[in-house]
Amino acid sequence: MNKSSSINQTGPKEGMRTGYTTGACAAAVARAAVRSLLTGKLIDKISITIPNGSEVVFDIVNCVLEGDVCHCTTIKDGGDDPDCTHGAEIIASVSVNEKQGISISGGIGVATVTKPGLGLEVGTAAINPVPRKNIRQMVLEELEGSRFCGADIAISVPDGEERAKKTINERLGLIGGISILGTTGVVLPYSTSAFIASVRQSIGLAAHCGETTLVFTTGGRSEQAAIKIRDDVGIQGFIQVGDYIGIAMRQAIRNGFRKVHIIAMMGKLSKIADNRMMTHASASIVNMDMLSQLAKNLGASPAIVQEIIEANTARHVLEICDSNDLSGITSAICHTAATACEGFVKGKLYVNVTMISFSGKIIGERSWHHPNPPTKAQIEESIYAT
């Protein structure tokens, strides 16, 4: 894929490559197939406008004319933060006609929607609204000036069903493959668009299913522990938010939720306690000064405080505190993390926080024992507020 484009690469570290979404790839192969049908020539490159307005050139690695149908393929490049769709073949099989209208469907390896609440009609292909719009616009631009004004487009991903096993699609009711996603057309390093989209869809589905409490975890291990801890919450209420706690909380508010329970380990919660609402290792580090202050509040000696400041990792801090009878550090971090979250969303969410060990055991928590979010005054009264 040719990386020359006018993309404004904001966000990634210098020197890191952006990638392109499955939606942008689908729009590219759809346009290429139409051009090949109209010209009778095989296409090896195509320029399209992706949803953020940038012009991008995609390599077409295969272009086949079969009667009235053209099949075009590109390889999805996830840049320097590739998800499970990195390297996938994205194929458009297209025919044009003189009937007005663009039909977009899913072929092999593109999931079918089987549950409501995802912003997509049940029974249709899991091709999200922005990619659908981008595909339609690119095809209509290509048809302009020809005698054709309509097209039938099928998007497929040959190994999509296998790739989908690495996603939560099945839980969302997206069966048989991957989703065609992307709101900007660009994948930024450490801002994986497909993952963020799945978080948003999961929260929307939980709302549709009538869940009243969301349980945010940062990965598979913490989710397994969370399901045991919160057996009162339906499976749709458990959301793996990864590093995107801030995005997830805002999405929860948009979907009408008032209660969120965050269950995670020492490292992630230490970052959240430091008001880091994006916790990827490259985007935030553990603030040892903050942790040492919490330990000092618990009565740690100057020598222990200094030892914490010089610690290598959050886990190392936990080991120091355990060996010095400062077990209260875990609940102090939970209190501070909850306070940070409530401040981030300006009190619009009621936040519980539980810290678990690597074996899934509860080692610290902070719970508000009332049904509504704490008031600003209550937040400010927290003795652990920083």
Distance CA 268, CA 260 (A): 16
Residue 133 has pLDDT above 80, yes or no: yes
Distance CA 331, CA 337 (A): 10
> Comparing 5-19, 74-88, 128-142, 157-171, which segment has the lowest mean pLDDT?
5-19
Distance CA 101, CA 248 (A): 36
Q: What is the DSSP letter of 375?
A: P
% residues pLDDT > 90 (the chain): 67
- Taking only the tens place, the pLDDT of each residue in 49-83 is 999 899 999 999 999 999 999 999 999 998 876 67
Q: Which of 133, 145, 75, 76 is nearest to 104 (CA)?
A: 133
- Cβ neighbourhood burial of 133 (10 Å; 0-12, 13-18, 19+): middle
CB of 199 closer than 8 Å to CB of 260 = no
10-16 contacts at long range (C-beta below 8 A, 24 or more positions apart) = 10/188, 11/188, 11/189, 11/190, 11/191, 12/80, 12/81, 12/188, 12/189, 12/190, 12/191, 13/189, 13/282, 16/79, 16/80, 16/81, 16/189
The one-letter amino acid code at 22 reads T
pLDDT of the residue at 324: 93
% residues pLDDT > 70 (the chain): 87
The one-letter amino acid code at 56 reads V
pLDDT of the residue at 82: 65
pLDDT of the residue at 280: 66
pLDDT: is 114 or 285 the higher one?
Answer: 114
pLDDT of the residue at 161: 96
**E strand or H helix at 199:** helix 193-208
- Taking only the tens place, the pLDDT of each residue in 163-176 is 999 887 888 889 99
pLDDT of the residue at 12: 40
pLDDT of the residue at 152: 98
Q: What pTM was estimated for this model as a whole? A: 0.66
Domain architecture of the chain: domains with CATH: 19-182 (3.30.2110.10), 210-381 (no CATH)
